[in-house]
């Protein structure tokens, strides 16, 4: 039955594929039908590329050697060709040879590999250090030194849901585009310090030759030195829950001057965005902002219609425990999460204004409008409960 | 099994229990190592 | 070629001397203590699990036909990938090898049955219980475990009750494996026919002796790991929670200390099977028997020293990265020796290419490819680029499917005449081989490219540039799955008697005690141990 469905699905979608425009290579990401690693834009990535070619060539040669012999044997040493079986069962010299020679080959492979391992592990003397935090399901970046010190932001998947649902054709950067990329200067050793807020994630950018697990409660680090400006893309590489495929990484490598300018712009924007926590917002302002915050942070689990997924993610529409109840319970839930579940603590990810607005939105959306106490929540209410 | 002598059975059982003990020891060892590594409770 | 003299084979199938009859009806199976019956049950069970696990694979490959989400939401998709792995490993591959151990080890060493016949029964009947738990976990709130067959913490701590079902299933299946391992070790060490020293034992028995020690050593470790998951989930411990003083990476160390020997558990018996089949169809003794034994032992010992090559991206110190890289690369040496010895066995033999031989040669060919990608993965810097990508998925399917599964197919065709007394349909068998071989490569070879290009694993959705290779893989997967229905047909057809009656030894070059008893093998064999005198 499932095979019938699958086959029908395949036929239907093949039709659609043919009807869509040809996809191009992704800039800074995978090429169409790419066969091999990319050379990459860092010395480490290039080292790995060369190591891989070395391994591939040696293994192919051995493969041809062994299976050439076997193929010859299959053709000649057959009963139907009248070949009579020999009787030998051992040959010490031969067996020693084909133990020792592979051993030497392995040593030959291990020497250049060792050099690269040591180089990859050396994160000292970095020019710039950035902290990357894995969340379910996005990355957060914080600049720890240099001209952008203190700049921090979240980096969310920017692909429209319509493309995922098949209602719009997928773009060339499908699933590998974000709202705010990590920005770094070219030709500088960038040390990336990694951690996670909930489960293990992994930060991977193939063009940079980098992959490092982000482990909750621990710090790990890695480094890269990009030698070409451009945009480079990667994805989360450790299963982290339902949206594991939807938390990409984009790194923009800028010239030194452009980087300095970006840093200055970021700091100015952060200053401007610092809001008066005691300002009273209008209900319409809160609802407009809240709708945006909900779409970026809450829709993945609670769904756009607020119904959640029965048995897994609770509905917000008609919920009488937190949403249609005094505001304190819902504010605390959004701030602190529910440990042991997928409900994260948003206290460090969202500002008071963002939290107040998204809570206000849920209290006035779908069928909740007009029901329940505290339909409007102000940022000062959230601040009071931190 | 009709065809195993009592002596054969005894030898089998003895080896069987030794192996079972080894398996159990490894189970215990794993918990002990984990406790030393990280907090157990 | 050899002269195996057997002291005394009873003229009838052993009914006469005792007031003892072959049990009938459901009691025969529920209370089975006969190694042949129990072996048969293991094999049927494992084939059913192969179908269930295969269905899960086809479901997820269907979703992966196109970018975007068409059929299954990511949370359900993750359940499919997870349970596909758990069911195939613990439900299909491992029980299949145990089924062969049960059927063939007593026959090959001239023993009347396994050492602990009643424990053998219990070992088998635990399996359906475990399988029901795994299957049922799909239907509890939250669905089945969706944290990968590796069940890493802390993700696995977030899962619903389906995770607890999986943990209990692992406990039960693990207990079955440990008891099976004890049974096999005691049988092989204590119950060989007089004159059969260890170094005269068929290599299949050697491979299982070593595998059984591996099982004994590491299944308790897995039991501890999943128990710690259980207590972290429900009983307030924090083994894997940093906030409580624990460490998520501890789980990975414990799991992979089990996990790496586990993959050798799944391949060593396959090596043993191939080492029986190739000499038979080359009509030439296995080349370098002693080296083959040492190689198996070397692989087993080394397998304990390389677990962290699954953890190269967790952030180990440099010396640890190097140690595990070197250890992993070293394993390729005894493995290579085995491939060379099989080739040397074929060399200047007098070969025919019936279905068992096709699968054995196919195994060597395709397993070696998997071995090479394993060597590539061993090189830690390369692993950094391809860890958790489809390159790894390609590698382990090459060694587990083209490796273990092909060996299981080949051994089934090889020993089927002994089990049921009829030859299988050779023409259909060849069809099965070629369809399986070709569709397997269509499915999994493109995954190497996907991985090198950066396609991560356990993804329900992917960038558009990966589409073509995914579509090829999905089509190959459906063809592969359908081909296995042909296998079922061939086996059932032979068991129903539609094939030439098989003599005691249907294969011209075959040696071994199992070929001295009639086909089908009588219910009781070697009631009195034979005197074994192989001319070695």
Closest CA to C385 of C444, C452, C319, C457: C452
Beta strand pairing call for A189-196 and A128-135 = parallel
Strand partners, A254: A185
Strand partners, C155: none
Catalytic residue, chosen from C233, C284, C309, C397, is C309
A328-351 in b/e form (b: 16+ CB < 10 A) is eebbebbbebeeeebbbbbbebbb
Note whether C39 and C105 are within 8 A (CB).
no
Q: Give percent of chain C above pLDDT 90.
A: 92
Note whether A252 and A263 are within 8 A (CB).
no
Sheet hosting strand A230-234, strand order edge to edge? A182-185, A249-254, A230-234
Closest CA to A250 of A228, A274, A233: A233
Asked if the model's pLDDT at residue C209 lies above 80, the reply is: yes
Distance CA C530, CA C468 (A): 59
Asked if the model's pLDDT at residue A341 lies above 90, the reply is: no
Cα–Cα distances in angstroms (integers) from residue A331 to residues A76, A301, C4, C103, C134, in the given order: 79, 18, 82, 64, 39
Phi, psi of C522 (to 5 degrees): -60, 160
Q: What is the DSSP letter of C198?
A: G
Distance CA C281, CA C64 (A): 41
* Cis amide prior to A137 (ω within 30 degrees): yes
Asked if the model's pLDDT at residue C13 lies above 80, the reply is: no
Distance CA C375, CA B25 (A): 34
Note whether A45 and A36 are within 8 A (CB).
no
How would residue A2 be classed by pLDDT, with cut points 50, 70 and 90? low
Closest CA to A157 of A252, A295, A259: A295
Q: Is A154 helix (H, G, I), strand (E, B) or coil?
A: strand
Contacts with B7 (C-beta within 8 Å, 6 or more apart), sequence order: none
- Tokens read off for C337: 């020796």
- pLDDT one-digit tens code per residue, A159-200: 999 999 999 999 999 999 999 999 999 999 999 999 999 999
Beta strand pairing call for A201-205 and A189-196 = unpaired
pLDDT of the residue at A342: 79
Q: Which of A332-336, A354-358, C98-102 has the highest mean pLDDT?
A: C98-102
Note whether C121 and A165 are within 8 A (CB).
no
- pLDDT one-digit tens code per residue, C448-488: 999 999 999 999 999 999 999 999 999 999 999 999 999 99
Catalytic residue, chosen from C137, C147, C156, C177, is C177
Q: Catalytic residue at C176?
A: yes
Closest CA to B38 of C465, C325, C231: C231
Closest CA to C76 of C54, C57, C60: C60
Q: Which residue has the tokens 């030898």?
A: B11
Instruction: Check residue C512 and give left, alpha or beta (phi > 0: left; psi -120 to 50: alpha).
Output: left
Q: Catalytic residue at C415?
A: no
- pLDDT one-digit tens code per residue, C310-356: 999 999 999 999 999 999 999 999 999 999 999 999 999 999 999 99
B37 contacts chain C (CB < 8 A):
yes
Give the distance from CA C4 to its chain's centroid: 31
Asked if the model's pLDDT at residue C6 lies above 50, the reply is: no
Length reported for chain B:
41
CB within 8 Å: B2 and C117:
no
Strand partners, C422: C501
Catalytic residue, chosen from C310, C395, C418, C432, is C310
Note whether A154 and A139 are within 8 A (CB).
yes
Note whether C452 and A33 are within 8 A (CB).
no
B19 contacts chain C (CB < 8 A):
yes
Q: Which residue has the tokens 């914080």?
A: A142
Cα–Cα distances in angstroms (integers) from residue A179 to residues A118, A154, C143, in the given order: 35, 9, 32
Q: Give percent of chain C above pLDDT 70.
A: 96
Interface of A with C in 107-126 (CB under 8 A): 109-110, 113-114, 116-118, 120-121
Q: What is the DSSP letter of C403?
A: I
Distance CA C400, CA C474 (A): 18
Torsion A165-A171-A175-A180 (CA) sign: negative
Note whether C155 and C241 are within 8 A (CB).
no
pLDDT of the residue at C11: 44
Cα–Cα distances in angstroms (integers) from residue C278 to residues A74, C287, C339, C511, in the given order: 12, 10, 11, 12
For residues A81-92, give the mean pLDDT: 93
Length reported for chain C:
536
pLDDT of the residue at C14: 43
Contacts with A294 (C-beta within 8 Å, 6 or more apart), sequence order: A358, A361, A362, A365
- Tokens read off for C309: 């090559």
Q: Hey, which chains touch A, using 3+ CB pairs under 8 Å?
A: C
Note whether C251 and C225 are within 8 A (CB).
yes
Q: What is the DSSP letter of A84?
A: P
Contact list in C for residue A311 (CB cut-off 8 A) is 141-143, 160
CB within 8 Å: C379 and A51:
yes
Compare all CA atoms of chain A with the CA of C73 and give the residue at the minimum distance. A242
Note whether C394 and C447 are within 8 A (CB).
yes
pLDDT of the residue at C4: 42
Note whether C293 and C334 are within 8 A (CB).
no
Asked if the model's pLDDT at residue A346 lies above 50, the reply is: yes
Distance CA C373, CA C332 (A): 11
Q: Catalytic residue at C84?
A: yes
Contact list in C for residue B23 (CB cut-off 8 A) is 178, 182, 216, 219-220
How would residue B40 be classed by pLDDT, with cut points 50, 70 and 90? very low
Give the distance from CA C149 to its chain's centroid: 16
CB within 8 Å: A85 and C348:
yes
pLDDT of the residue at C5: 39
Note whether C407 and C363 are within 8 A (CB).
yes
pLDDT of the residue at A13: 60
Contact list in A for residue C329 (CB cut-off 8 A) is 106, 109-110
pLDDT of the residue at B37: 60
Asked if the model's pLDDT at residue C17 lies above 50, the reply is: no
Q: Which of A314-323, A348-357, C6-15, C376-385 has the highest mean pLDDT?
A: C376-385
Asked if the model's pLDDT at residue A19 lies above 50, the reply is: no
Asked if the model's pLDDT at residue A20 lies above 60, the reply is: no
Interface of C with A in 185-204 (CB under 8 A): none
Determine what percent of chain B falls in helix, strand and coil, rounding each to the nearest 5.
Answer: 80, 0, 20
Asked if the model's pLDDT at residue C7 lies above 50, the reply is: no
Query: How close is the nearest chain A Cα to the Cα of C415, in Å?
Result: 22
Q: Give percent of chain A above pLDDT 90.
A: 74
Q: Catalytic residue at C149?
A: yes
Average model confidence (pLDDT) across chain C: 94
pLDDT of the residue at C262: 97
Please write down the long-range contacts of C71-77, taking CB distance under 8 Å and 24 or more positions apart.
Answer: C71/A5, C71/A9, C72/C460, C73/A242, C73/A309, C73/C460, C74/A242, C74/A243, C74/A244, C74/A245, C74/A246, C74/C460, C74/C461, C75/A241, C75/A242, C75/A309, C75/A312, C75/C143, C75/C146, C76/C143, C77/C460
Average model confidence (pLDDT) across chain A: 91
pTM summary value: 0.89
Please tell me which of the candidates C68, C155, C341 has its beta carbon nearest to residue A240: C155
- Tokens read off for C191: 């119950």
pLDDT of the residue at A352: 87
Sheet hosting strand A189-196, strand order edge to edge? A152-155, A138-143, A128-135, A189-196, A220-225
Compare all CA atoms of chain B with the CA of C115 and give the residue at the minimum distance. B12
Closest CA to A174 of C465, C72, C470, C78: C465
Distance CA A17, CA C72 (A): 19
């Amino acid at each position: 039955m499932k095979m019938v469905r699958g086959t029908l699905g395949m036929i239907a979608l093949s039709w659609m594929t043919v009807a869509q425009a040809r996809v191009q290579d992704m800039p800074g990401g995978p090429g169409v039908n790419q066969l091999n690693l990319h050379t990459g834009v860092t010395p480490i990535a290039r080292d790995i590329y060369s190591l891989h070619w070395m391994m591939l060539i040696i293994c192919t040669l051995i493969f041809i050697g062994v299976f050439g012999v076997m193929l010859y044997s299959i053709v000649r040493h057959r009963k139907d060709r009248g070949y009579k079986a020999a009787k030998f069962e051992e040959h010490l010299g031969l067996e020693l040879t084909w133990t020792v020679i592979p051993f030497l080959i392995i040593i030959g492979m291990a020497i250049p590999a060792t050099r690269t391992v040591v180089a990859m592990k050396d994160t000292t003397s970095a020019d710039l250090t950035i902290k990357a935090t894995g969340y379910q399901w996005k990355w957060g970046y914080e600049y720890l030194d240099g001209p952008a010190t203190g700049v921090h932001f979240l980096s969310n998947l920017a692909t429209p849901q319509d493309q995922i649902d098949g209602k719009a054709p997928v773009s060339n950067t499908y699933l590998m585009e974000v709202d705010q990329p990590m920005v770094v200067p070219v030709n500088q050793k960038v040390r990336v310090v990694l951690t996670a807020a909930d489960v293990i994630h992994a930060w991977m950018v193939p063009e940079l030759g980098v992959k490092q697990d982000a482990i909750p409660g621990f710090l790990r680090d890695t480094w890269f030195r990009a030698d070409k400006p451009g945009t480079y893309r990667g994805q989360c590489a450790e299963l982290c829950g339902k949206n594991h495929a939807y938390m990409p990484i984009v790194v923009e490598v800028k010239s030194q001057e452009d980087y300095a300018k970006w840093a200055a712009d970021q700091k100015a924007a952060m200053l401007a965005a610092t809001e008066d926590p005691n300002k009273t917002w209008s209900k319409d302002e809160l609802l407009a902002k809240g709708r945006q915050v909900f779409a970026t942070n809450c829709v993945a689990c609670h769904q756009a219609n607020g119904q959640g997924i029965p048995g897994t993610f609770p509905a917000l529409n008609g919920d009488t425990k937190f949403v249609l109840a005094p505001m304190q319970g819902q504010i605390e839930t959004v701030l602190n999460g529910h440990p042991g579940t997928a409900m994260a603590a948003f206290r460090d990810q969202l500002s008071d204004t963002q939290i107040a607005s998204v809570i206000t939105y849920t209290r006035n959306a779908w069928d909740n409008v007009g029901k329940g106490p505290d339909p409007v929540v102000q940022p000062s209410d959230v601040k009071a409960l931190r | 099994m009709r065809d195993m002598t009592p002596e054969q059975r005894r030898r089998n059982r003895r080896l069987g229990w030794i192996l079972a003990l080894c398996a159990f020891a490894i189970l215990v060892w794993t918990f002990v190592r984990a406790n030393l590594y990280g907090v157990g409770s | 070629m050899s002269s195996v003299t057997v002291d005394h084979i009873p003229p009838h199938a052993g009914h006469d001397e005792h007031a003892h009859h072959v049990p009938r009806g459901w009691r025969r199976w529920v209370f089975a203590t006969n190694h042949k019956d129990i072996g048969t049950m293991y094999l049927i069970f494992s084939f059913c699990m192969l179908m269930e696990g295969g269905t899960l694979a086809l479901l997820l490959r269907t979703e992966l036909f196109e970018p975007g989400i068409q059929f299954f939401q990511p949370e359900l998709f993750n359940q499919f990938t997870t349970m596909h792995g758990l069911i195939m490993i613990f439900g299909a591959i491992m029980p299949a090898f145990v089924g062969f151990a049960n059927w063939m080890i007593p026959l090959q060493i001239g023993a009347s049955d396994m050492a602990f016949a009643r424990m053998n029964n219990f070992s088998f009947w635990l399996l359906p219980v475990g399988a029901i738990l795994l299957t049922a976990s799909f239907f509890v709130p939250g669905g089945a475990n969706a944290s990968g067959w590796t069940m890493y913490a802390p993700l696995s701590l977030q899962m619903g009750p389906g995770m607890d079902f999986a943990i209990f299933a692992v406990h039960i299946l693990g207990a079955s494996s440990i008891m099976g391992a004890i049974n096999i070790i005691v049988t092989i060490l204590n119950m060989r026919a007089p004159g059969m020293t260890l170094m005269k034992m068929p290599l299949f028995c050697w491979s299982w002796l070593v595998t059984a020690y591996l099982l004994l050593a590491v299944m308790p470790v897995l039991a501890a790991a999943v128990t710690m998951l259980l207590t972290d989930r429900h009983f307030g411990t924090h083994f894997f929670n940093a906030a409580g003083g624990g460490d998520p990476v501890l789980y990975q160390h414990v799991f992979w200390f089990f996990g790496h020997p586990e993959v050798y558990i799944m391949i060593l018996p396959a090596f043993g099977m191939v080492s029986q089949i190739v000499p038979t169809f080359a009509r030439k003794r296995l080349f370098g028997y002693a080296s083959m034994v040492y190689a198996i032992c070397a692989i087993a010992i080394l397998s304990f020293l390389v677990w962290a090559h699954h953890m190269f991206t967790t952030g180990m110190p440099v010396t640890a990265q190097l140690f595990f890289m070197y250890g992993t690369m070293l394993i390729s040496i005894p493995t290579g020796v085995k491939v060379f010895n099989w080739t040397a066995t074929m060399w200047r033999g007098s070969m025919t290419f019936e279905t068992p031989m096709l699968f054995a040669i196919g195994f060597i060919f395709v397993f070696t490819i998997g071995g090479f990608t394993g060597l590539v993965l061993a090189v830690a810097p390369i692993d950094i680029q391809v860890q958790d990508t489809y390159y790894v998925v390609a590698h382990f399917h090459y060694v587990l499917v083209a490796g273990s599964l092909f060996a299981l197919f080949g051994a089934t065709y090889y020993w089927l005449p002994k089990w049921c007394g009829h030859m299988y349909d050779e023409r259909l068998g060849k069809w099965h081989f070629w369809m399986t071989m070709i569709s397997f490569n269509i499915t999994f070879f493109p995954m190497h490219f996907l991985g090198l290009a950066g396609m991560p694993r356990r993804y329900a959705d992917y960038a558009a540039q990966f589409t073509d290779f995914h579509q090829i893989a999905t089509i190959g997967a459906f063809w592969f799955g359908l081909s296995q229905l042909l296998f079922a047909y061939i086996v059932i057809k032979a068991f129903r008697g539609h094939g030439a009656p098989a003599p005691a030894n249907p294969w011209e070059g075959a040696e071994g005690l199992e070929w001295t008893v009639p086909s089908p093998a009588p219910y009781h064999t070697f009631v009195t141990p034979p005197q074994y005198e192989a001319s070695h």
